[in-house]
């Protein structure tokens, strides 16, 4: 829990810097790439996590990797993260940055389960209907599960909206059993 709070604080600072620089989305792409690299590249993780490698060496490595890709202010931000020995939190900082960016721009990510593969028109219709219902921009992430038989199941945050045929049939069965 403590690491999430620390990552969120760094992400808030990064979002403030990105907003001032007018590059929220661009900075989001760079922090996401950096976070993915730290999370998935074992060699990079080993170097960044090794106490024998000095902060100056880690900073130089990241500076050369980010040179030409990121704004100088972004590079200074990463240098500060390394100086504070929080470089292993870069993946969590990236996640928190995108959560804060979504909040700031009124976006909600929803996991939508459908019974069969959806075409682009259906995806757009689902996004529009959810955006209207939630009064926010909804980014649907569709998955296919034939077990729901039809309808949709929507999950966002702690909320589940189950409009599946499977659930309706289950409720009907329960009412028929109770009526006996």
Strand order in the sheet with 107-114: 137-144, 107-114, 152-156, 159-162
Nearest to 6 by CA among 84, 112, 109: 84
The average pLDDT across 140-166 equals 91
Domain over 2-103 is classified CATH 1.10.520.20: yes
pLDDT at 1: 62
* Residue 180, pLDDT above cutoff 80: no
Q: pLDDT tens for residues 75-124?
A: 999 999 999 999 999 999 999 999 999 999 989 999 999 999 989 999 99
pLDDT over 80 at 23, yes or no: yes
Residue 157 confidence class, pLDDT cut points 50, 70, 90: confident
CA distance 178 to 180: 5
pLDDT higher than threshold 70 for residue 60: yes
Is residue 163 over pLDDT 70?
yes
* Reported pTM: 0.75
Rounded Cα–Cα distance for residues 138 and 64 (Å)? 37
Mean pLDDT calculated for residue range 36-49: 93
Give the pLDDT score at 62.
Answer: 92
Whether residue 53 has pLDDT greater than 90: yes
The answer to whether residue 70 scores a pLDDT higher than 70 is yes
Beta strands of 29-162 (E only): which ranges? 107-114, 137-144, 152-156, 159-162
With a CB cutoff of 8 Å and minimum separation 6, the contacts of 147 are 166
Report the DSSP pairing between strands 137-144 and 107-114. Answer: parallel
Percent of the chain with pLDDT over 90: 79
Please provide the average confidence, as pLDDT, over all residues in the chain: 92
Alpha-carbon Rg for the chain, nearest whole angstrom, is 22
Delimit the domains of the chain by residue range.
Answer: 2-103, 107-179
């Amino acid at each position: 829990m403590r690491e999430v709070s620390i990552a969120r604080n760094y992400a808030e600072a990064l979002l403030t810097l990105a907003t001032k620089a007018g590059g929220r989305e661009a900075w989001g792409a760079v922090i996401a790439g950096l976070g993915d690299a730290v999370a998935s590249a074992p060699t990079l993780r080993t170097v960044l996590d090794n106490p024998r490698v000095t902060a100056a060496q880690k900073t130089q490595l990241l500076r050369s990797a980010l040179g030409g890709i990121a704004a100088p202010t972004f590079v200074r931000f990463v240098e500060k993260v390394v100086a504070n020995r929080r470089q292993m939190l870069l993946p969590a900082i990236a996640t928190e940055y995108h959560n804060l960016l979504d909040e700031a721009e009124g976006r909600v990510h929803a996991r939508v389960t459908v019974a069969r593969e959806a075409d682009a028109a259906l995806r757009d219709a689902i996004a529009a209907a959810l955006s209207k219902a939630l009064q926010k921009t909804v980014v649907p992430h569709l998955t296919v599960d034939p077990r729901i038989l039809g309808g949709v199941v929507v999950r966002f945050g702690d909320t589940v909206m189950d409009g599946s045929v499977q659930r309706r049939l289950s409720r009907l069965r329960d009412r028929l059993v109770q009526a006996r």
